[in-house]
Amino acid sequence: MDATQVASDIAGGKITAFKAMQNALSKAKEYRNLGAIVKIESEAALAQAKEADETPKEYRGCFHGVPFLGKDLGSSAYNLTTSGGVLALRKILEKNKYESELFSKFHGSGLITFGLTAVPEFGLALTSEPPNELPAKNPWNIKYSPGGSSGGAAAAVAAGIVPIAHATDAAGSI
């Protein structure tokens, strides 16, 4: 199911944002061996989803309540600081929580970021293999890489963990 369908189902009352987030978190746990996700903030995400369900309809964005994963490269969500796939930077940057303009726009549309996807260090490799993490695997054939620095995002969407994820392309990642 794509993000527009999930948003439509939430807006139409077929599913709550809380249930959509529970489903995404359950799938993230089920597919943890894919190496697609390097960080998850379950409690914060469930709290945001509950809050989303209580938000009056006139204040909802076009992707209101849709579970979303950010790429661990470049931009930060308030509860998930990106580190470019560099373990040493992650420990330092986690102390400086802020929200980038990009994630402010994502969240303004109603997306709920609950985790970060795998990237190679500084995004400078043809596969998403962050240090001290599992390499991202193609969910359709785990012997293969999803490729590119957005491989974690690609694997998460292809596995159905989320209907949409943050990805970038500087040299063929997508």
Out of 75, 128, 149, 150, which one is annotated catalytic?
149
Closest CA relative to residue 74, chosen from 33, 45, 102: 102
- Determine whether 19 is an active site residue: no
Structure tokens at 165: 């994820």
Closest CA relative to residue 137, chosen from 31, 39, 34, 33: 34
Out of 75, 128, 145, 173, which one is annotated catalytic?
173
In whole angstroms, what is the distance from residue 9 CA to residue 29 CA? Answer: 23
User: What sign results for the dihedral spanned by CA atoms 153, 158, 159, 165?
Assistant: positive
- Determine whether 173 is an active site residue: yes
Structure tokens at 53: 């369900």
- Determine whether 76 is an active site residue: no
Out of 39, 71, 83, 137, which one is annotated catalytic?
71
Contact in structure between 133 and 118 (CB atoms under 8 Å): yes
* Catalytic residue numbers, as ranges: 71, 149, 173
